[in-house]
Amino acid sequence: MAWRIEAWSQARLKLNHAHDPQFELFLIFKAPTNLLTASPAASPAALGDAANLASSEASISPLHSSSDNSVRTRSKRSSSSSSKDWKHTENCSYSIVVRTSKEPKAGTNANVFVQLTDEDGVQTDKLRLKCSITHRQKFRRGHSDLFLLVDQNQLSNLKYVDVWHQRKKPGATWLLHSINVIEHHGHQLYRFPYCKTIGDDDETADISHARLAVVGEPVKVLTAEDFQITN
């Protein structure tokens, strides 16, 4: 395994990548039995920063708050079948890794909102990415920021991630490298590369929008139950 445990507490685990000491991963979880570990055979080069994420059903509030109600939208329901309607009423959690490019002036201080959409057109709420687990200051050049979305619709086969970039001041563009999403119910990882600047199309506009399409097939993220531990 490329990850090693550096520090441990009851509610927080700090992991360092053995080959990249600059990259740290913090996880919040309820108990050690809830810890999910990614496949050691997964290729970090192919999957990006989220490929070897250990994930969990975290006890964290949704990213939106009462002050963010103006940007929250009602989720759409699929009407194709009663079974699909039932499935999408189930709650699910998602880990989102947002990677900012390493190019100069790639970062942003703007507010960022996301919404996930699956192949049936069912969506999560539109949520502000407010608190990064991996970095105190989010969306900085070269950073990979981890966010958790909880109590959301259970989606099947993610297709799009919509991103809204709300400027705090004129010219606050953002060079987004990619977004990776782990769906915690089916333990699938989806990749959404972008490598473009958001907010440079019209610098007078307050909000810019980009839609990221999924690339390739989802990657299975193994849970603790997938490993056999012998004495």
Percent of the chain past pLDDT 90, that is, above it, reads 45
Is the pLDDT confidence value at 44 over 50?
Answer: no
| Inside any domain, residue 64 | yes
pLDDT of 53 over the 80 cut: no
* Within a domain: 231: no
From CA 221, how far away is CA 79, in angstroms rounded?
A: 30
Please check whether residue 21 lies inside any domain of the structure. Answer: yes
pLDDT greater at residue 220 or residue 225: 220
- List the domain range (segments joined by +) for residue 105: 3-226
Instruction: Tell me if 144 is assigned to some domain.
Output: yes
**Number of domains composing the chain:** 1
Mean pLDDT to the nearest integer, 65-73: 38
Which of residues 104 and 229 earns the better pLDDT score? 104
Q: Does position 47 have pLDDT exceeding 80, yes or no?
A: no
| H-run or E-run covering 88 | helix 82-88
Amino acid of residue 89: T
> Residues 183, 190: contact at Cβ < 8 Å?
yes
Residue at token pair 């563009």: 173
Alpha-carbon distance 135 to 22, whole Å?
12
Does 217 have pLDDT greater than 50? yes
Q: Please check whether residue 204 lies inside any domain of the structure.
A: yes
pLDDT for residue 225: 73
What tokens appear for 222 in the block?
């193994």
Q: Which CATH number does the domain housing residue 48 bear?
A: 2.60.60.20
What is the mean predicted confidence (pLDDT) over 81-109?
Answer: 78
pLDDT of residue 37: 34
Q: List the structure tokens of 10.
A: 């009851």
69-73, 128-132, 175-179, 218-222: which has the minimum mean pLDDT? 69-73
On the question of pLDDT at 54 being above 60, the answer is no
Whether the pLDDT of residue 180 is over 70: the answer is yes
Cα–Cα distance measured from residue 64 to residue 28, given in angstroms and rounded to the nearest whole number: 18
- 118 in any annotated domain: yes
Question: Over pLDDT 70: what percentage of the chain?
Answer: 56
- Which of 13-22, 31-40, 120-129 has maximum average pLDDT? 120-129
The predicted pLDDT at position 150 comes to: 93
